[in-house]
Each structure stands twice: as C-alpha cells, then as structure tokens.
Amino acid sequence: MRPRFFFKTAVIFMALYIAGTYFSMQARVLAAREENAALYRQQAVEQQKTAEMRDEAESPADRAFVMRKARELGYIVKDEEEIYINIYGKSE
C-alpha cells in the first residue's frame, strides 16, 4: 500500500511540475513574441526616418542651404569668386 502511495504522489508532483513548466514557457514565448513585434514596429519607423533623411540630403533645397551657410562662414566654391591681386603695388 505504501509504495503505491509514493508512486501516485510522485506522478502527481511530476505532472504538476510539467504543467507549471509548460505554462511558464508559454508566458515567456508570448512575451518574446510581443517584444519581437515591438522591435519590428520600431524598425519600420527607423527605416521611414532614414528614407526621409536620405531624401532631404539629396534634395536641391538642402544643397542651397549648405551653400548659403558656407558663404556666411566665409567659404567659397571653386569658380564662384575671382580674386585679383595688384602686382604693381599701386592702390586705385
């Protein structure tokens, strides 16, 4: 009688352990899937931002802005400005 009791008790504990492990793993899988979905959404947003920034960088308006800022800072573009040097030393 006693060996059967221990066997039944061991089987019940084993079944409870397996069920608990199964449900715990299901919860972890669900959390990982939710995190994965969130990361995919974030990736889509970042790809959209990257595409917008690429479009802005390639636009002519951006080039004009860069050129205007360069002129404000004293930079010139090749063939944009001619500089004459007075080699005779006389001022006009």
- Residue boundaries of the structural domains of the chain: 2-57
Amino acid identity at 18: I
Rounded-to-10 torsion of CA 28, 29, 32, 33:
-150
Q: Say how far apart CA 76 and CA 83 lie, in whole Å.
A: 11
Averaged pLDDT in 10-residue chunks for the chain of 92 residues: 84 95 96 96 95 78 76 73 68 58
Q: What is the pLDDT of residue 65?
A: 77
Q: What is the pLDDT of residue 53?
A: 84
User: Counting every residue, how long is the chain?
Assistant: 92
Are residues 60 and 67 in contact, defined by beta-carbon separation less than 8 angstroms? no
Tell if the pTM clears 0.75, that is, is over it: no
Q: What is the pLDDT of residue 80?
A: 63
